[in-house]
Structure 1
Amino acid sequence: MKPTIIFTLCCLNMLSAGTLYMFSLYGPQFAEKLHYTQTETNFIAVTGDYGMYLSGPLWGWAVDTLGSQKGCLLGAFFLVFGYVMMALTYNQALFSDSFIYMAIFFAFVGMGSTCSYMSTISILAKVFKDNRGVALGVPIAMYGLSAFIWTTISRVMFMRADGTLNIYGFLLFLAAATCIINLNSAIGFNQLPIGDDGEVGKGKAKDTRPVPANAVTSLASGSQVSSQGSRALTPTEATPLLVEDETLVQEDLVVAQIGNVYGEPDISGLAFFKDPEVWAFVFSLICLSGGGLMIINSVGAIIGSLYDNTPSSLPPTVSALRLALTVTEKIPLASLQSTHVSLISIFSCMGRISAGIISDFLKSRHISRLWSYLGFGTIMLVSQCLGAFYVDRVDTLPFLTVLTGLAYGGAFSVSPTITAAKSFPIIRLSATPFLSDSEFWGTRRFASNWGWISWAPALGGLMSNLVFGFFFDEEAQRQKETSESGAFVQCRGVACFRWSFVFTASACFIGLATAVALSFSRRERKAAIKRERLAKLGILATAS
């Protein structure tokens, strides 16, 4: 099958895998009709995240072992079951409408999303070996754009005349649409030949023989060398950015050729868990992802708490949204929630596309992809600070949702490429900390490795969402006690969420510091590996 067709199927599959991020569109309606508290509503959202992320290792192993076709079939089943049961629970057609059952069914949606996601990125990582950042970034951008597309469909097809959303019909529609998309992808992926090494195509297993002596000698003298199972590297491809003398250039060329002969790293299983860089990267993801998932799952509640505080006009800085948000008395709350869900989705898509392009550009300059991850993490920190100290009306909320979508999408587009990066180090012993290759753990067991790493957002989302629910319900209870009627009231004002953003902003700062430390540590580790390999080949002179 042509790569363009495979690429198209992957993009469509990513659309079906990203429906989980629309929870803010219908979550508040769950609370209103079924009388859930904010903590219970956030628990449902967190359970969906857990179904998505904690099942990552299982479905990663399944995709690596059984293939992407069966992964898509599993995804179709879980998505249909989850959405149909959620629709029936919402319509009170089952034996109970408890939030526990709703959470369980939403977890099935999360598992189906992961099956679809893992199947797609596994195929992409194996089919598109060049420009992997863009090849992964664009379909993953569709994953980020998924909420916008499905939200737009909900507005056109399922918005009632009174401005409320037909939740029951929309959930059934999602069940049918995601199932059809995954079945089509399963048919397409089944037509791809798989080689003995697990790669797509007819290729043989990589040559892992020792480096021929003549190859080292020839390369050290400045000539091009090729060996069976690998192509020759030219000085243009392997020469580092900063050059001080010819000897160091030849050393870098030798190390690069060693990488070609031995193939990409294949770190998995127990060795993967023993790698301290895994734990540093996971901890950083936990800290940076929590705030993003909190906003994605709770933006509807934030809008509800600010809805009565919206002025009749907006400042020029948000003139693009003036028409949509000027007079909230004429715009239903559901429409405002839909608008911000769409904003997060659109800018998540932009972040994912830009992350792929930026990471490939950095890689071509022998700069670690980790630095693009740091850039998007910084944007996430800024967004959380805005939530803590700036957002106090609906007209200021777009800044928060836009930056959150951009940062979350970018960070989670570049993270899989960091996990799968395969080149061997071309590191100057005297280079700056920014000059490094992004080799991490390889592609052979990529789905399994990324499945374990993807536990991080689940843990970060759990902490942040429960913190949000705690502060929100505490403030709602305080407002209830001080109200004249003493009846239940919707939490109003910035006090409902401000301390939640203080918590996530602090976590983001810690996550960024961890990622910076990881980058410096990785540079030192790769430099040590280079010295060891060159010493074994007799290239380095004896210690002076």
Structure 2
Amino acid sequence: MNLRVIKLTLSFIAALLISSVCGTQYLFSAYSTTLAERLNFSSIQINTIGSAANYGVYLGKPIFGYIADNFGGRRPFFAAFIIFIGYFCLAMTYEGNLRPSFLLCAFYMFLAGMASAAGLMSSLVIVAKNITSFRGISLGAPIALSGLSAAIYSEINSLWFKNDNYHFLLFLAISTGLCIFIGSWFLVVVPPSINQDTTVVTLEEGNSSSCSTKQNDKFEDTPLLQNKINEEIDIGGWDFINNIDAKLLAITMFFFSGAGLMYINNVGTIIESLYSSHSSSTLPPIYKLQNTHVFILSIFSCLGRLSIGFISDMARLLFKIPRSFFFILSGVWIFLAQLLILFYVDDLDKLLIVTIFVGVGFGNLYSITPIIVSEWFGTKRFGSNWGMIACIPAFGGQLFNLLFGYNNDQHKRNECTGTDFHAPFILYKE
């Protein structure tokens, strides 16, 4: 195994390690209701805190995508300190050691989101530049692990901490910080190998013998694959912003991701509302149900992210199906979830299918979109381009979260519970 292969392997493993702790913002529902009760936050306030993490992730992606494009992938080491500070301060606030201000809590979550964006964007940019074939699989792996991180931490919370949110948040701060810090030292762009001696074989007509000649010319000595890569499409900056395809991609992401984020951030609140109307008298504690749904969301998000890369690669190779088909499919999953919760869900047992649909759709969306961006607009400015598209969900998520919070507060004033409380997509049902 040569030195280049070792560097490529270590860089890819580092990307996976960092990505595995860069999806913890989706864990918010596991402790959001307890945080709200302990600090006396309203639904709108707790939704603002959850949205702040999303803002940090999505608004940070253009910045850190640009940094990764231009300065390399070792830069996210500072993100280790930022994510530690974010979760550590939230833990101190929960315990009463810091001022219980919802704006400060939102700021702490914003810091954690920014650090997650730095780690994930650096990982994706390095993988995109190091691995140019089968992008669906190579980019799908770190994206899938970022979706799996919430499942890992929710399971740890259930098994070890058992609703001890203070120590769980401390563990979250330390473990995420360490993983990003360690991985950042190995996350590098590995230059393509250039063979010094290239053999060119020519077959003369009517002659089965061949002759080989050594090419010393620098241009001819460059591998044909590398020449092809260097001629790849390169759209960025204002050309990207004014591009019709980029605009359509951004608008669609606004609605798809907004509806998905609303459910992800508020599934804990939905469970709390349905809990009192459940017919069974042997229900587990609410926090266990919340952790279970966060775990299932994360697992199916991971499966959706990982599978769509492989499936889209094979579909494109064998059946010439464009990747945009799978982008639309991800929205179909999320839309079906909204219909189910409106017309089908009336107790906790039926909520599970909604969680699965949102997990699959959200995972599909966040795996296929960066792959489309890298192929439609090139990898040279992939970090900046994907960063701009990836910040759109912050606005969609905020809009839908505010609608959810307003609707929830209105129903609380009217003392509505159970099936009287309808959350996602169409929020105002009398």
8 Å CA contact 2:60, 2:117 repeated in 1: yes
Listed one character per residue, the Cα deviations across residues 249-294 of structure 1 (whole Å, up to 9, x for unaligned) are xxxxxxxxxx948711111111111111111100000011111101
Contact 1:34 1:90 in 2 (8 A): yes
Q: Tell me how far apart the structure 2 counterparts of residues 64 and 368 of structure 1 sit (CA, whole Å).
A: 26
Identity of aligned residues (%): 35
Distance apart, 1:77 and its partner CA: 1.8
Q: How does 1:273-312 map to 2 (within 5 A)?
A: 273-312=241-280
Say if 2:296 is the partner of 1:343. Answer: yes
Alignment partners' CA distance in 2, 1:353 and 1:297: 22
Show the counterpart of 1:484: none
Residues 263 and 366 (structure 1 numbering): CA distance in 2 closer, same or farther, change over 3 Å? farther
Report the count of equivalent residues.
Answer: 398
**Contact 1:385 1:502 (C-alpha < 8 Å) held by counterparts:** no
Query: In the aligned structure 1, how far is the partner of 2:165 from the partner of 2:263?
Result: 21
In 1, the alpha carbon distance for the partners of 2:420 and 2:278 equals 16
**Is the Cα–Cα contact under 8 Å of residues 258 and 399 in structure 2 kept in the other structure?**
yes
The 5-angstrom pairing of residues 428-439 of structure 1 reads none
User: For the Cα contact (< 8 Å) 2:61–2:117, is it kept in 1?
Assistant: yes
2: CA distance between counterparts of 1:361 and 1:63?
29
Return the offset for 1:391: 1.1
Q: Is 1:60 the counterpart of 2:58 in the alignment?
A: no
2:421 maps to 496
TM-aligned CA deviation for residue 378 of structure 1? 1.0
The answer to whether the aligner puts 1:25 opposite 2:25 as a matched pair is no
Cα offsets for 1:399-448 (capped at 9, x unmatched)? 10011001100111011000001xxxxxxxxxxxxxxxxxx110001011
* Aligned residue among 133, 137, 150 for 2:136: 133
Seen in structure 2, the aligned counterparts of structure 1 residues 334 and 186 have a Cα distance that, compared at 3 Å, is same
Aligned to 2:184: 186
Residues 87-107 of structure 1: CA deviation (Å, up to 9, x unaligned): 11111212x201111001100
Match of 1:123 in 2: 126
Runs of 4+ with deviation above 4 angstroms: 227-230
Residue matched to 2:212: none
In structure 2, what is the equivalent of residue 269 of structure 1? 237
Alignment of 1:29-178 (within 5 A): 29-70=34-75, 72-94=76-98, 96-159=99-162, 165-178=163-176
- State the secondary structure of the residue aligned to 2:234: coil
The answer on whether the counterparts of 2:18 and 2:180 sit within 8 Å (CA) in structure 1 is: yes
Counterpart in the other structure of 1:376: 330
- State the SS of the aligned residue for 1:54: helix
Question: CA, structure 1 residues 26+346, in 2 after alignment: closer, same or farther (shift >3 Å)?
Answer: same
**Aligned counterpart, 1:386:** 340
**What is the one-letter code of the residue matched to 1:269?**
G
1:381: how far off? Answer: 1.0
**SS state of the match for residue 170, structure 1?**
helix
The one-character-per-residue Cα deviations of 1:127-155 (angstroms, maximum 9, x if unpaired) are: 11111100111221111111110111112
Return the alpha-carbon distance in structure 2 between the equivalents of residues 478 and 405 of structure 1: 31
Alpha carbons 1:290, 1:463 under 8 Å: kept: yes
> Corresponding residue for 1:327?
282
Q: CA 1:395–1:417 in structure 2 vs 1: closer, same or farther (change >3 Å)?
A: same
Alpha-carbon displacement from aligned partner over 1:145-192 (angstroms, at most 9, x marks no partner): 111101111122211xxxxx11111111111111111111112125x5
For the 8 Å contact 2:194–2:223, the answer to whether it is kept is no
Kindly state the Cα deviation for residue 468 of structure 1 after the two structures are TM-superposed: 0.4
How far apart are residue 28 of structure 1 and its match? 0.4
d(CA) in 2 for partners of 1:60, 1:77: 19
Give 3-state SS (helix, strand or coil) of 2:252's partner: helix
Task: Give the direction of change, closer, same or farther, for the CA distance of 1:372–1:100 in structure 2 (3 Å limit).
Answer: same
2:194 and 2:128 mapped to 1: Cα distance? 15
Q: Could you tell me how far apart the structure 1 residues matched to 2:383 and 2:419 are?
A: 41
How large is the Cα RMSD of the aligned pairs? 2.0
Residue 397 in structure 1 maps to residue 351 in structure 2 = yes
| 8 Å CA contact 1:230, 1:261 repeated in 2 | no
Q: Is it true that 1:7 corresponds to 2:12 in the alignment?
A: yes
Q: Residues of 2 paired with 1:378 and 1:304: CA distance? A: 27
SS in 1 for 2:426: helix
Task: Identify the residue that residue 467 of structure 1 maps to in structure 2.
Answer: 403
Q: What amino acid sits opposite 1:333 in the alignment?
A: I
Structure 1 position 3, deviation (Å): 3.3
SS at match of 1:52: helix
CA distance in 1, matches of 2:108, 2:258: 22
Secondary structure at 1:465's aligned position in 2? helix
Distance, in Å, in 2 between the alignment partners of 1:415 and 1:5 is 26
Which residues of 2 match residues 512-523 of structure 1 at below 5 A? Answer: none
SS at match of 1:367: coil
Provide the C-alpha distance between the structure 1 equivalents of 2:427 and 2:236, rounded to a whole number of angstroms: 34
Q: Work out which of the two has the higher radius of gyration on C-alpha atoms and give 1 or 2.
A: 1
CA deviations over 1:226-249 (Å, ceiling 9, x no partner) = x955638xxxxxxxxxxxxxxxxx
Cα distance in 1 for partners of 2:230, 2:152 equals 44
Q: Secondary structure at the match of 1:392?
A: coil
Gaps of at least 5 residues in structure 2 are 1-5, 196-218
Aligned residue type for 1:411 = L
Deviates more, 1:21-30 or 1:179-188: 179-188
Shift of 1:497: 2.7
The equivalent of 2:211 in structure 1 is none
CA deviations on 1:188-245 (whole Å, 9 max, x unpaired) are 125x54xxxxxx43569xxxxxxxxxxxxxxxxxxxxxx955638xxxxxxxxxxxxx
Deviations 1:356-411 (A, max 9, x none): 11111122143311111111211111111111111110010001001100110011
Consecutive unaligned residues in structure 1, runs of 5 or more:
160-164, 194-199, 205-226, 233-258, 313-325, 422-439, 480-490, 505-544
- SS of structure 2 residue aligned to 1:188: coil
301 and 261 in structure 1: CA distance in 2 versus 1, 3 angstrom threshold: closer
* Greater RCO, CA 8 A, separation 6+: 2
**Other-structure match for 2:309:** 356
Q: Deviations 1:502-541 (Å, cap 9, x if unpaired)?
A: 269xxxxxxxxxxxxxxxxxxxxxxxxxxxxxxxxxxxxx
The question of 1:446 aligning with 2:382 is answered yes
User: Within 1, Cα distance between the matches of 2:230 and 2:409?
Assistant: 57
